[in-house]
Amino acid sequence: PKAISTGTTLIACEFEGGVVVGTDSRTSAGSFIASRVTDKITPVTDHIVCCRSGSAADTQCVTDIVKYYMEVYSLTEGEPISVYRSSQIFRQFLYNYRDQMSASVIVAGYDAQKGGQIYALPLGGMVTRQHFTASGSGSGFVSGFLDSQWRPNMTLDEIKQLVRMAVFLATYRDGSSGGVIRLAIIDKDGTRRELLRPDNPDTFPKVVEPKAYSALPPHIPQ
């Protein structure tokens, strides 16, 4: 049997007061769509989330283990864990088990020391801090879009619009991405979630469908 994979499209962008992350919701096993409403944004603390791509089983297992280590750290140190330290715990597991797992994550959150932060951890466990990042099978379709549209000190509304459109454009072209758009806004007040459904045209992005050219000879009626 084919492994359950989360596809996928993950987008994360910093704004002046925190971080916004967005994902699609399609889970696939080969060409079979196993779920259309998967939640790929996993909260690990009130101010930190993990966006998962790769093998669903691997990423869920790693996230559960890391959450335990983060809780132990907070209890022993008597303070909330920082976003950077959280990313290093993820890095340790992803690197140590890089040959046994197929897992890539984005750790995004807010702490009092550095504000909003995004750490990208691709396959293999390398960690890089980014102002914005895209991961998963849909990321190649929107990397140029993010490069051209993101700028420092964007407002929350501007970043939400950017992330929403980036996820939509990726799902429009990527066959392994689709479903609804899930957003998470992380700032000093905690984490807030939003759900954008395709059946709500007021909030879900859309594109103008180009008219297709017919491949039939001219003498055949259309």
Active site residues per annotation: 8
Cβ atoms of 171 and 11 closer than 8 Å: no
For the stretch 111-120, what's the b/e string if a residue is b when 16 or more beta carbons lie within 10 angstroms of its beta carbon?
A: beeebbbbbb
3-state SS record for 59-120: HHHHHHHHHHHHHHHHHHHCCCCCHHHHHHHHHHHHHHCCCCCCEEEEEEEEECCCEEEEEE
Distance (Å, whole) CA 94 – CA 218: 58
Cβ atoms of 138 and 149 closer than 8 Å: no
Distance (Å, whole) CA 180 – CA 25: 6
Triad 74, 80, 83: Cα angle to 5°: 110
Residue the block writes with tokens 């930190």: 48
